[in-house]
Chain A
Amino acid sequence: MIGRLVHKELTELRRDGRALGMLAILLLLALGAGLSAWQQARVQHQAWHAASEGEHARWLEQDAKHPHAAAHYGVYAFRPPGPLAAFDPGLSPYLPVTVWMEAHRQNEALYRPAQDSGSAGGFVALSPAVISGALLPLLLLLLAAPMISGERERGTLRQLLAQGVRPERIVLGKGLALGMLLLLLLLPLWLLVFAGLLLGGADGDVLLRWSLLAVAAALFLGGFSLLCLLVSACCRQSRSALLVLLGIWAFGTLVAPRGVMEWAEARHPTPSALEFRQAIDAGLADGAARERRIEARAEALLQQYGVDDLAALPVNFNAVRLQEGEEHGNRVFDAVFGQLHDGYLAQERWLQGAGWLAPFLAFHGLSSGLAGSDLLHFRHFVDSAEAHRRMIQQLMNDAIYQQPETDGRRYLAGPELWATVPAFDYRPLGVGDVMAFYGMGWAVLLAWFVMPLLALMAVARRLAP
């Protein structure tokens, strides 16, 4: 019986020219968006590769100079596109692409690509992820809204029930038909990309990310399909079902995310640029503790080497001053940058929690997280760059420390020192960290699937003709 019901639904869907037309449009859109996102990710990857290699080569090819001059010359770290950025560019257009790592200062990351975009803001930016999360639900609601309410309007639901078909089976048949349609539409695309990733040499982490994306999409789209059937089962007219679902879609996709973001910002305020820079300047200016540490180090070294003048030390005390300055700065940067990024991530968690109101937010967050184009990955990049900057400073200061400047001669380092600094080789976060951060998002998606399912089961038992 179920098989016949599913077959009947699929036949009706196949015969419905509008459904096929919309499906074709959606596939074309997905193709265009995928092509555009892939092209952008490819160009970004090439630019990232060239710029990163160029930067390291420039570091290695420096002339002979004092290590501190090299520390000031610095290195630019470039943010690579996320491993699945072609599927979901996520926040990439709004995340800065580079950080300048120099002595004394953790600089803010620079250049958001959206600033050079020159196009109108405020509209939905199309990508395969947005098509899955925003447009595919639209197609689903157009298809599913009349599934039960339409039968009721035409009187065929009464006929089916009169023939002794159990209402749960009718609903199950429609649900399975919708699920099979989704599967037929998405599974080949998913397999195609999976094969592409395998052939392209993607590692296990990327393949796992892609698989988890499929699970997230299945939960989100499955939940939305169930909600559509629930509304259709509750409405007497297909028009009412359609309008209710369109309202839910517009609210959840367009209105709620913006409203919830305002709420998250009010709940977890972050400093303005002025406050941020003032906090850094104030922290750096407060150097009493640093001076005390420098004095203590001086006394210890004088004792260790049994001399009474810093100039008589067999090591270069300037390096101690420089390194203490770095340590002092690092504490300030950890506090101020930490406060900013923690605030942003708290807002992100708040948004995930608000996925109860707008599951699109939960899906979008998870999708960009798994694609590596979210704020969590960006923070990891910034932290990695900062760790690299500190490592460079330490290496340069250690080299200065070993070279006491006597007789007015200034130490000039050469290629052998530059070669001790490895290239900035950024590795994105592991998928385990992503899963841990997005725990709430997963919970919301799971609930988003289970709750309509339970409600639909309850409604199906009392389905009125």
Chain B
Amino acid sequence: MTAPWNRTVLLGEWRLLWRDPAAWVALVLLCLALLGALAQGLAREQALAASLAQWADTDEAHMEAAADLAQRLERDGGEISNFRDPRNADVVGRRLGVQHLALPSTRLGALAVGQSDLHPAWHPVSLESRDRLLAEGELTHPRRLALGRFDVSFVVVFIAPLLLLGLLASVPAREREAGMLPWVVMQSGGFGSWLMGRVLPRLLLLLIPVLIVGTLAPLLQMSSDGTGGEGQTLARGLLWSAQVTGYLLFWAALALWVGTLPLDGARSALALAFAWLLFVVLIPSVSQVALDLAHPQPSRMAYVDAMRSATDLARAEGSDTLARYLEDHPELAGETVNLEDFFAQRLLVQQRVEAELEPLSAAFEGQRAARARQAAWMRLTSPALLTMDALADAAGTGEARHRHFMAQVHGFHAEWRSFFHPRVLSGEQFFDHDQVPGFVYEPEPLRQLWPRSALLLGSTGGFALLFAWLALRRCRSLPKVIGQG
């Protein structure tokens, strides 16, 4: 095989593709799907950014209104319910000053919905328990969640391979059926290079529009800044592009391998269609069933049941709990603390409930984590699963970035409580509205993203290499291949 011959084959194939209506149909379908998905993604990101800004404005306005009212009540006097009094630290920390912490999108957010439909991009933080806060979320039609989104990831993982396989299904079956294969191969520098010459232009025809859309998305999505700068955007964009390339290379290698098998056109098309079904539909579905059988999901009903029992126990001992707490923290047992103080009691009962629930929470989280670990292994069974995860991860809508955000939410929750708890327990009037902690999102460092992405990309590449190697092996036994044809 010589380089000039490759060039000739490639140019010839480009010319053939140019005149092939099937190639145009595939290209137009892909572009339409990509543009539709990108437009949806950009609109979704715009709506999300607007919603996050609205939450932030609302939180700020609530805190300012609470501070103003507290000053006014102090200055002018007036009647107000204890449960609405902005001079009460518990009321501010629990209701009036609730903060909605935002996970800003990356500049690639429009490319993949990932897990962002299920895990909202904001979380409220107040004095309420962590469980109660985490239960809140965005309102989404459950069927929307069940069906999934028509995003660029969906187009890449489901539609692009179908179109690619449609273009490659007749390679080299058409020549074999026409009896031209021996002639074609004799003219060329080898069966493998001839096959590559046929596959590569078709792969590029579909890969290039996908990569263009991947480049366009961050340029069009100007509203987000959750990546931590241009460097991260570039790195995420590169990872996204590399994963897309690896995934489509896998399908091309698979088609190459099927092309070397002694199959006629119909059987070759059938084999490719079955491969698509296997990797995109069957394996992901079956792996989910296997996961459910091996690691059943922990039950939230059982959790709520246990939580209620623990709450009853702690409530029944409410006064004792407060007394014990004050024994441990005598500095707080000033004259203002009243054993019958509702707010102090509620706070301590809540802490007691959380302490009681800790083993249950740990078991629940352990079960979830074991399931997630198993699910991570299950991804290795299909490049489609790997790619769906990798694209979401690169776009910043995957599980890992959300976990990173949730760690910050928990940290801020602790900070919020440590600010308010002493003030609630002291029972003194609260005027520190301007001193409440503020949240600043810390973007996920690249050093955490690289290893995850490398694993996903490497595994997809492994699949591509496996089929490329199988195809090459078949190509080496050229006389046999042609003979069978």
Where the two chains meet, the residues of A that have a C-beta atom closer than 8 Å to any C-beta of B are 29, 32-33, 35-36, 39-40, 43-44, 47-48, 50-51, 54-55, 58, 63, 76, 78, 90-91, 93-95, 97-98, 108, 110-126, 130, 134-135, 138, 142, 237-239, 242-243, 246, 250, 254-255, 257-259, 261-262, 265, 270-274, 276, 278, 340, 344, 347-348, 351, 375, 378
Contacts and interface: CB of A to CB of B under 8 A. Distances in A.
A35 B292 CA distance: 10
25 contacts: A29-B286, A47-B302, A50-B305, A51-B305, A58-B309, A90-B146, A91-B142, A94-B142, A95-B142, A108-B139, A116-B300, A116-B364, A118-B368, A118-B375, A119-B375, A121-B115, A123-B284, A125-B146, A126-B285, A126-B288, A126-B289, A257-B147, A258-B147, A273-B137, A273-B139
Contact of A119 (B147, B150, B291, B304): B291
Nearest to B299: A47
A219 B169 CA distance: 33
Interface of B: 33, 36, 40, 47, 51, 54-55, 58, 113-115, 117-120, 135-139, 141-150, 153-154, 157-159, 162, 166, 169, 265-266, 269-270, 273, 277, 280-282, 284-286, 288-293, 296-302, 304-305, 308-309, 312, 316, 364, 368-369, 371-372, 375, 378-379, 384-385, 388-389, 399
Contacts of A63: 316
A378 B384 CA distance: 33
B269 A274 contact: no
B266 A124 contact: no
B154 A122 contact: yes
Contact of B302 (A50, A76, A348): A50
A123 B368 contact: no
Interface centre among B33, B147, B150, B388 (most CB of A within 10 A): B147
Given A124-B285, A239-B266, A259-B150, 9 more contacts: A55-B308, A98-B301, A108-B139, A116-B298, A117-B297, A119-B371, A121-B145, A255-B150, A340-B139
Given A123-B284, A265-B141, A276-B139, A117 B371 contact: yes
Contacts of B166: 243
A4 B291 CA distance: 47
Given A48-B301, A126-B285, A258-B150, A118 B143 contact: no
Contacts of A378: 142
Contacts of A98: 300-301, 304
A78 B304 CA distance: 10
Given A114-B145, A121-B118, A265-B141, A39 B288 contact: no
Nearest to B285: A126
B312 to A, nearest CB: 6
A254 to B, nearest CB: 6
Nearest to B100: A274
A63 B318 CA distance: 13
Given A94-B146, A122-B154, A242 B273 contact: yes
A11 B114 CA distance: 47
Contacts of A117: 297, 371
A262 B290 CA distance: 31
A318 B269 CA distance: 77
A121 B266 contact: no
A261 B148 CA distance: 9
Nearest to A238: B266
Contacts of B291: 119
A51 B307 CA distance: 11
A40 B146 CA distance: 17
A95 B143 CA distance: 9
Nearest to A93: B146
B143 A91 contact: yes
A70 B378 CA distance: 48
B261 to A, nearest CB: 15
Contacts of A274: 51, 54-55, 58
A54 B138 contact: no
B372 A262 contact: no
A276 B47 CA distance: 15
B143 A261 contact: yes
Contacts of A237: 266
A118 B296 contact: no
A273 B102 CA distance: 14
A135 B114 CA distance: 25
B266 A120 contact: no
A272 B142 contact: no
A36 B301 contact: no
A32 B289 contact: yes
A238 B150 CA distance: 31
B459 to A, nearest CB: 14
A33 B290 CA distance: 9
Contacts of B269: 239, 242-243
Given A243-B166, A375-B143, A262 B150 contact: yes
Nearest to B40: A262
A32 B286 contact: yes
A270 B141 contact: yes
Given A50-B302, A97-B301, A271-B139, A112 B118 contact: yes
Contacts of B137: 115, 273
A344 B143 CA distance: 9
A55 B304 CA distance: 10
A375 B378 CA distance: 30
A54 B305 contact: yes
A272 B100 CA distance: 14
